[in-house]
Amino acid sequence: MINDTVNLIIEGRTKRRRRYLFVTSSLAIIAFVLCCAMLMLGNTIYPAQDVIRVLLGEDVQGASFAVGTIRFPRMVAGVFAGFAFGVAGTVFQTMLRNPLANPNVIGITAGSSAAAVFCIIVLQASNFLVSIASIIGGLATALIIFLLSRGNSFSIGRLILIGIGIQAMLNAVISYLLLIGQTHDIPTAMRWLTGSLNGVNMEGLYPLILTVVIFAPVIILLGKPLDMLELGEQAATSLGVDTNKTRLILILSSVMIIALATAATGPIAFVAFLSGPIAKRLVGVGFSTIIPAGLVGIILVLASDLIGQFAFATRYPVGVITGILGAPYLIYLLIRMNRKGDF
């Protein structure tokens, strides 16, 4: 009897491991295919061999500029920003045990956006200064939310409510800045607020790449303690997790990558919100969803950008497409939570 139980447990773990590896591998393959499509497709379609030659440093007439200068930075921005949004979103949702608790909803990206719009509208600053201000704005907003939500003990509800309030105030600030801005500055600010891969260059992406390379492994290594935090404060502590230290490292790491991603591409709507739930549904229980969520984020950004470029007569920024995809899910989630009495 005991042997049968042990065998069932081992068999269950094996099935879950196989499912995790299959899902993660499939998501990685889909992301790779989309990367290839980003490099090959455009006003002129270049064959794979020309793209490879360009990536290897050869000078291919026509393709060198289109692929090397325009499409490759766009693809890299989509990969790293999508991964950052996906990872940070699932960290906040898992740690705070609430699907609404993602950087978009609790105000962190709104802080980055308000700082960036202020630089564009009021200071008429360069793209570099806009990026720096976006990073500082996101970090400062996260710090303010954390300080205001402190009490005798950590409260998920308090943090989410304060974050939503901060977001509302920052959105009001953004609306005011757009109202008083010069006509020629409004399109730039609106394009940035929507979230777009247009106009990115490799020089501007190096900070994002470096930040993701440094902080994403930290988050991945803390995947198991993160899953324990989802069980609750007391359960995680009883399992040997230093909850305060783990939560602080996860928040700082997530805020860093989300701030840099927002600085590079703008706040691409709903990617952080959708990636975690999709990954969790695909992977199931028993394994961390951090890497699958990052891959889902890449797929959402790249696929949405391709749809925005080629599916309609007018080209739309990637944030418009992700907004169309994410809004119905948000409405569904709110209705379901209301029926369950989670509000």
Written as tens digits, the pLDDT of the chain (343 aa) is: 556 666 666 666 778 888 999 999 999 999 999 999 999 998 888 899 989 999 988 888 888 888 888 999 999 999 999 999 999 999 988 888 777 777 777 778 888 888 888 888 888 777 778 878 888 888 888 888 888 877 666 667 777 788 888 888 998 998 888 888 777 778 878 877 888 898 888 888 998 999 999 999 999 999 888 888 877 777 777 777 777 788 889 988 998 898 889 888 888 988 988 898 899 889 887 788 999 999 999 999 999 999 999 888 888 889 989 988 887 877 777 677 666 655 5
Q: Closest Cα to residue 111, out of 321, 258, 286?
A: 258
Q: Which residue has the tokens 């951090």?
A: 290
**What pLDDT is recorded for position 6?**
62
Q: Which CATH architecture has domain 1-340?
A: Orthogonal Bundle (1.10)
pTM above 0.85, yes or no: yes
Return the pLDDT at 3: 61
pLDDT of 220 reads 93
Please say whether the beta carbons of 301 and 322 come within 8 A.
yes
Ranges of each domain in the chain: 1-340
Q: What is the pLDDT of residues 258-270, one digit of tens each?
A: 888 988 888 898 8
> What is the structure's pLDDT at 1?
57
Cβ partners under 8 Å of residue 185, min gap 6: 120, 121, 124
Instruction: Indicate the helix (H) or strand (E) that contains 111.
Output: helix 108-118
The reported pLDDT for the residue numbered 39 is 94
pLDDT at 82: 95
Q: Residue 136: phi, psi to the nearest 5?
A: -60, -40
**Three-class DSSP category at 21:** helix
* Cα 199 → chain centroid: 19
225: CB partners within 8 A, 6+ apart:
236, 241, 246
Output the pLDDT for position 34. 97
C-alpha distances in Å from residue 219, one per residue of 28, 91, 92, 143, 289: 19, 8, 11, 19, 11
